[in-house]
Amino acid sequence: MKNTFSEYYSPSDSEYSNFLEAGTIALDANVLLAPYKVDGDTGRQIFEILTQLKDRLWAPYQAGYEFFKNRPGVIAGEDKVYQGLESPLAVARKKVEDHLKSIAGHPVVTPSDAKSIMDGIDRIISKVHTLQKGKDSRLEDALRDDPILKKWEDLLESRIGECPTPDALRELKETVSKRYREGAPPGLQDEDKPENSYGDGILWLQLLDKARATQSPTLLITNDVKDDWYRRHGGKTIGARVELVREMQEVAGVPYYQQPLSFFVQRAGKVLHKPVSEKTVRQVVGLSVPALSGSQFEESVRSELLAQFPSHDVIEYPQQLTPVDLAVRVGSVVVGLVVSLNGTYLRRSTIQLLTEAVNGRKFDAILLVTPKPLTERDRDALTDLSEASTKPFDAITWGPARSTSPRLTQAVYALADRSHASPWRS
């Protein structure tokens, strides 16, 4: 039975070992970017496993291209981890100050004690401000002196696919377009993207060419767990699309398997006797975000906000009244959230409505929340919104699989901090 329906089987331990010992281990761009999104210890464990497999590693040209294109944005985003701390610290400072004033004259807390407490809080706020300012201003330095990039340069030296010529690239795009019309994965869910809609399809074609040339088993590590790459059952990822396994066998005559990075570090770590920590697994699992419906994503955002803010400070809006889906009250500031699976919502929704909502003082700031990286057009639209309003607009890439991360909360606090406090108006 396995010989007839091999595409439905996951590799046995011996077959998996063969992928690691004699196969091509291909890395997608989201895996190349993963070390920037985890802590140093997790990154070290990932690189330890990959270093043992150095001779088997390879990255399609498309993966390398997307890595370098998206790397500045990823570093810039992760470099702002301090930004969301200033506003909550300022709120806490005000509460402490008010409390100390209310007990002024109490024999237990002397004026000297009160001053010492406030000085300590001010030192913390000053330290965070210094760290934030320094981090956010050193993007160019971080891009130039990047230890993660140096590790990739060592691991992937002479292990990157060739850059296609303009004619070859045009042929690749034509082939991918034909595949989309025929409903052939992967990349079907990216077909309507305004930018890089051919990326997954091109990567797959380059992977087929590599397998055909090397005649070696091919293992793709990718955190893109959309339905056009993976089979899922009951919400769980259970393997590659059977069409992909079949095509690899038909075109290149070799076995094919694919895994998210979290599955790879666990299984490869076991085979290589390099077990990874539970913390590493948790962090890396958070990098794989399955496809969601718009309503599911909005509910994930709402749940995260309710976990971090009082329920009476999280407000929902009927979409026919405003492009804003949710709002959060932070003190006297109201941050409106536009929640979208795709940043292009920012362009489709009426910029005029958003600017009127802010300039009319209904909202003091607007935050776009999307699980997908913003395209250049999205960022241009964000700039247009900012220029049309006196209040701040910003965007964050956030996924429910990262719901333990404070980045969404930090982004709300950061926008509240940037805006001028204004009274709530319904």
d(CA 400, CA 288): 10
pLDDT of amino acid 368? 83
Give the burial string for 69-103 (b: 16+ CB within 10 Å, else e). ebbeebbebebbebbbbbbbbbeeeeeeeeebeee
pLDDT digits (tens, 9 = 90+) for 367-399: 888 776 666 666 777 777 677 667 788 888 776
> What pLDDT does 404 receive?
41
Q: What is the pLDDT of residue 219?
A: 96
Do residues 359 and 365 touch, judged by C-beta distance below 8 A? no
**Exposure letters 202-220 (e unless 16+ CB within 10 A, then b):** bbbbbbbbbbeeeebbbbb
Residue pLDDT, tens place only, 19-68 = 999 999 999 999 999 998 888 889 999 999 999 999 999 999 999 999 99
Over residues 140-160, the mean pLDDT reads 88
Q: What is the mean pLDDT of residues 126-154?
A: 76
Distance CA 194, CA 69 (A): 16
Answer yes or no: are the C-beta atoms of 59 and 100 closer than 8 Å.
no
Residue 277 has what pLDDT?
A: 85
CA distance 88 to 86: 6
pLDDT in the model for residue 313? 81
Distance CA 49, CA 349 (A): 45
DSSP per-residue letters across 56-75: GEEB-HHHHHHHHHHHHHHH
CA distance 293 to 315: 21
Which H or E element spans position 261?
Answer: helix 261-271
- Are the CB atoms for 381 and 342 separated by under 8 Å? no
Given this model, what pLDDT does residue 175 score?
94
Window from 24-28, 76-80, 414-418 with minimum mean pLDDT: 76-80
Q: What is the mean pLDDT of the chain?
A: 80
Query: Which residues lie closer than 8 Å to 145 by C-beta, 6 or more apart?
Result: none
Residue 275's pLDDT is what?
Answer: 86
Contact between 138 and 75 under an 8 Å Cβ cutoff? The reply is no
Rg over CA atoms, the chain = 25
pLDDT of residue 401: 52
Identify the residue with better confidence: 252 or 292: 252
d(CA 172, CA 164): 9
Interatomic CA distance for residues 275 and 280, integer angstroms:
10
For the cut 50, the answer to whether the pLDDT of residue 160 exceeds it is yes
Q: Is the pLDDT of residue 138 over 70?
A: no
Structure tokens at 328: 């959060």
Tens digit of each residue's pLDDT (9 = 90 or more) over 280-313: 877 787 676 555 455 567 777 877 787 778 877 8
Cβ neighbours of residue 370 closer than 8 Å, sequence gap 6 or more: 339, 340, 341, 342, 343, 345, 395, 396, 397, 398
Q: Which residues contact 300 (CB under 8 A, 6 or more apart)?
A: 292, 399, 400, 403
49-58, 133-142, 259-268 — which one is most confidently predicted on average? 49-58
Beta strands in 7-97 (DSSP E): 24-27, 57-58
pLDDT of residue 355: 63
pLDDT grade for 104, boundaries at 50, 70 and 90 = confident
pTM above 0.75, yes or no: no
Predicted pLDDT at 348: 45
Question: What pLDDT, in 10s, does the model give residues 199-246?
Answer: 899 999 999 999 999 999 999 999 887 778 888 765 566 788 899 999
Q: Classify residue 421 by its DSSP letter.
A: P
Q: Give yes or no for residue 342 having a pLDDT over 80.
A: no
Provide the percentage of residues in the chain whose pLDDT is more than 70.
76
Amino acid at 108: V
**Are the C-beta atoms of residues 330 and 84 closer than 8 Å to each other?**
no
Nearest to 195 by CA among 348, 383, 373, 59: 373
